[in-house]
Amino acid sequence: MPAQPGISLGELAVRFGCTLKGDPDLRVSRVATLENADGASVTFLANPRYRRYLGRTKAGVVVLDPALADACPVSALLAKNPYATYARIATLLHPAPLVMPGRHATAVIEESAQIDATAAVGPHVVIGARAKIGARSVIGPGCVVLDDASIGDDTRLTANVTICQGVVLGDRCVLHPGVVIGADGFGLAPDQGEWLKVPQMGAVRIGNDVEIGASTTIDRGAIEDTVIGDGVKLDNQIQIGHNARIGEHTVIAGSAGISGSAVIGRRCMIGGQVGIAGHLTICDDVVITGQSLVSSSIRKPGYYSSALPVDESTRFRKNAARFRGLDEFVREVRKQRSTGGASQDGAHPDDNGPATDEE
């Protein structure tokens, strides 16, 4: 009798340490959303915003918190961290393509390059002198690995990735299309109204289990190396300047900019479009919300924000005008405090109530 497709709920429960509510022999073979799942699908509920879809889902099984077990109309895998458990199940059901070792006929490879026999080198790849490619790694179409670069085991360069001279990339990394690692940093010295290029002599060192999103760029160091720690996850279109250091298991969302020589600690979460100035330090376990500007060091773990959220245009313009006058107002308050006086209407400067639209 041929084997049935997919995997049973009983096996999933045992493998991932879940409590199963439902038929252990039911089999699932794919993932789907709560709204669109069918009887052969796994889905999950982690965000309360999607709770409204739970009662009418037709999924084979839902991964969710034990507190929601009674609200689930189908089989459930109960887990303390539903999203992480779902991620592991999805990886099992939808594994990465198998590596097919070999070198495409159009690849250009220097004789001194060292490429493991189990690695795959795709079409139109260029690999420079003394470069090293580890076991089971995949160098996808159009990638360039320049002289003396080193790529670890089980690492995947998907397509059109550029690894510049001397870059060191660890094991089990994933680099998405258009990533550039090790281009020159923005090092310029002013001289009588002109700019002199400062040679960028360092490299980039990237740890294990790092994922780098499409079109993200990481500059080489000016003298010492730019360093990306183990487990760091970078979204698309991030710029990381020369000599920056990012600690282990930090995540950075899209379009963030990290200036040169900034040091970011471990387990930090940096939101989208955050700008971090150069030569400052952010300690471990810091969360910075989207579009914030970090212009000084952060030395205490916690949540940090800046910038103004969107508002109705008329009110925003009024508040912007008041903000421009804030410095003058503070100076007046300090003057009144230093003289012990009161304002002309008899009220103390600190007694001013909140501004209104009518002001």
- Active site members: 242
Tell me how far apart the alpha carbons of residues 59 and 311 are, in angstroms, rounded to a whole number.
Answer: 40
Tell me how far apart the alpha carbons of residues 41 and 10 are, in angstroms, rounded to a whole number.
Answer: 15
What secondary structure letter does DSSP report for 351?
G
Here the tokens at position 334 are: 């300090």
The dihedral region occupied by 205, where left means phi > 0, alpha psi between -120 and 50, and beta the remainder, is: beta
Backbone angles phi and psi of 84, in degrees to 5: -65, -40
Chain centroid to Cα 159, Å, comes to: 19
CB 304 within 8 A of CB 290: no
Name the residue type at position 316. F
Alpha helices (H) along the chain: 9-16, 82-93, 313-324, 326-339
The dihedral region occupied by 54, where left means phi > 0, alpha psi between -120 and 50, and beta the remainder, is: alpha
Tell me how far apart the alpha carbons of residues 22 and 201 are, in angstroms, rounded to a whole number.
Answer: 60
Nearest-5° Cα angle at 194, 185 to 218: 10
Could you give the count of Cα atoms lying within 13 Å of 313 in the half-sphere of its Cβ?
A: 0
Tell me how far apart the alpha carbons of residues 17 and 79 are, in angstroms, rounded to a whole number.
Answer: 8
Backbone angles phi and psi of 318, in degrees to 5: -65, -45
Give burial (CB, 10 Å; 0-12/13-18/19+) of 345.
Answer: exposed
